[in-house]
Chain A
Amino acid sequence: AQTVTQSQPEMSVQEAETVTLSCTYDTSENNYYLFWYKQPPSRQMILVIRQEAYKQQNATENRFSVNFQKAAKSFSLKISDSQLGDTAMYFCAFMRPNFGNEKLTFGTGTRLTIIP
């Protein structure tokens, strides 16, 4: 079974600074997807960024980028020029695509606070 570990329950950073959220996972699969979801106080689950394991290039979405280390099974999220609206819970998630259950396996989350 796959597991996802987020070892930082809480983090805080000054506005405009850069912050990195850590995520490690355990799997024996070679083909899979990794995601970072953001959950603001509204509770909505918002997809921030995704990474296909077969792609060596790290995914980037505006101020959000990942450092995907497949051999180390590490998938960290970097937020540049952090903004107050980035304050949220962030979940790392793993998915093994198959012809059946496309289950997302989530980490326990990191609560990020951006300080004005």
Chain B
Amino acid sequence: EAQVTQNPRYLITVTGKKLTVTCSQNMNHEYMSWYRQDPGLGLRQIYYSMNVEVTDKGDVPEGYKVSRKEKRNFPLILESPSPNQTSLYFCASSLNPRGLRTEAFFGQGTRLTVV
């Protein structure tokens, strides 16, 4: 089954404790992206990756890091989480950034609470 898998689904952590949210896709997609969803703001892009070892900032990258060492994996790293990073996070992937027909597949979401 084609899917994007995020882990964990829920996470409560304390300010300053480094954490990683994993994202893996089994569709051989080149393009992957992270979004955060906040009430009244919709979803906003954090980082994206066009392919292995190619990453770049989205609209709200402050406080986050990513890596793309393998095509299937695109982890989101919070080196020193703060309460304003409490949010619902989504990983998404799509087939080919150069394709005319493109559809984003989303993971199940990770609810992060930083206290």
Contact = CB atoms under 8 A, between A and B. Distances in A.
Interface residues of A, number: 23
A82 B103 CA distance: 25
B106 A44 contact: yes
Contacts, number: 62
Contacts of A70: none
Interface string A28-46: 0000010000000011110
Contacts of A95: 102
A100 B43 contact: no
Given A43-B88, A91-B42, A103 B106 contact: no
B86 to A, nearest CB: 15
B24 interface: no
B44 interface: yes
14 contacts: A44-B109, A45-B90, A91-B42, A93-B43, A97-B99, A97-B102, A98-B97, A101-B50, A102-B48, A102-B104, A103-B45, A106-B43, A108-B41, A108-B42
Interface of B: 31, 33, 35, 40-45, 48, 50, 56, 58-59, 88, 90, 92, 94, 97-100, 102-104, 106, 108-109, 111
Given A42-B108, A45-B92, A103-B58, 16 more contacts: A4-B42, A44-B106, A45-B106, A50-B103, A91-B42, A95-B102, A98-B97, A99-B98, A101-B48, A101-B58, A102-B94, A103-B45, A104-B33, A104-B45, A108-B40, A109-B42
- The 4 A-B pairs of least Cβ separation, nearest first, read A106-B42, A45-B106, A43-B109, A106-B43
Interface of A: 4, 33, 42-45, 47, 50, 91, 93, 95, 97-104, 106-109
